[in-house]
Amino acid sequence: MSGGADVSRGHFEKLMLFSVIIPSYNRARFIEATLESVRAQECQDYETIVVDDGSTDETMSILGRHPSVQVLRQDNKGRGPARNYGVSKSSGEYIAFLDSDDIWFPWTLQTFADVIRDQNEPDLIAARLFEFWNDRELEAIKKAPLEVDVFDDYYAASHKSYFVGACMTIIRREAFLAVGGFTSRPIYAEDCDLALRLGLVRKFVQILAPVTLGYRQHGTNARRDYARLYSGTVLLVDSERAGRYPGEAASESDRLRLVTLHTRPFSVACIKHGWQRYGWDLYWKTFGWHLRLLRWKYLLGFPVLAAWCALRRQTTGETAQIREETP
């Protein structure tokens, strides 16, 4: 499957180990803290590129106070194209993605550098995240000895259910470019699609310790846009059925475990939050795969949960959040 447009490498010399790519859209409230966390890194072998995706708030004004940051701007096209644009203007050997509402700890980049050195330059590394709502929660996070889980490739880790989100991803530039970058479609779950297309890259490392990413929770997180998440999740299902992910029959079981790792919790969330049509559609689209994987708890529990949620809305008078928009 082809990814997003405009991720060509161009002509440059490698100047540093990391290119930190930060897409941003109307994140004036958070981006200062994000940039400060990058500036505080113990490892200084990096460049920082922020791609403003057509913000209409004070984001650009804040970015203007950071002369060491390369700022790019585009019309609002979405996070995938923004990240691709940033990569096309970068020069690091590895791409480290960070979202504009999240933060790094002072040891984050050095931890990535240690993994690259110790594990003979793997193609794909996943950060260890900590979800937080209030900055005070971060005070409990302390640096810990490095601990990792290492696999020949990402598919080989399918039985561990490791999620590789965009803000957790550190990837060798050549591997990113080889698969065409992120999809340019205006969807969410674009990071899951990228991870599946990277399924057979040389060596995948999951960081278990220390925590390297503070994943901020707030009312405008992308995970709350059910329409775009549904579109992205369906893309995973359709791409697997169309044979767009690597590995052919030899990797099919691994791919199915990873695709359903995303469809299963999202379909449940849809039912719980009133998006019944989306939840049931994903349930039936992946029913055979779950049967093959012997996911009986999900297959039997989903209809029960759906019935209970429907009954609760009837008895409490809760208004269902059923939407009929086309994602």
Fold of 16-222: Spore Coat Polysaccharide Biosynthesis Protein SpsA; Chain A (3.90.550)
Tokens of 131: 């979800």
Question: In DSSP terms, which residues pair with 49 in a beta bridge?
Answer: 21, 70
**CA 246, chain centre distance (Å):** 19
Is the Cβ–Cβ distance between 205 and 115 less than 8 Å?
A: yes
| Residue 137: predicted pLDDT | 95
pLDDT at 197 over 90: yes
3-class state of residue 58 by DSSP: coil
pLDDT bracket for residue 317 (50, 70, 90): low
* pLDDT for residue 303 is more than 80: yes
pLDDT tens profile 99-138 = 999 999 999 999 999 999 999 999 999 999 999 999 999 9
d(CA 109, CA 230): 33
In 3-state terms the chain splits into helix, strand, coil percentages (rounded to 5) of 45, 15, 40
Number of C-beta neighbours around residue 209 at 10 A: 13
Amino acid identity of residue 314, one-letter, is Q
pLDDT at site 211: 98
| pLDDT, tens digit (0-9, with 9 covering 90-100), for 161-183 | 999 999 999 999 999 999 999 99
pLDDT top residue among 12 and 225: 225
Would you state the pLDDT for residue 9? 40
What residues have CB less than 8 Å from 154, skipping those under 6 apart?
124, 164, 195, 198, 199, 200, 201, 204, 258
Give the residue extent of every domain in the chain: 16-222, 225-316
> What pTM did the predictor assign?
0.90
- Which helix (H) or strand (E) is 100 found in, with range? none
Q: Which pLDDT band holds residue 15 (cuts at 50, 70, 90)?
A: confident
Whether 324 has a pLDDT exceeding 70, the answer reads no
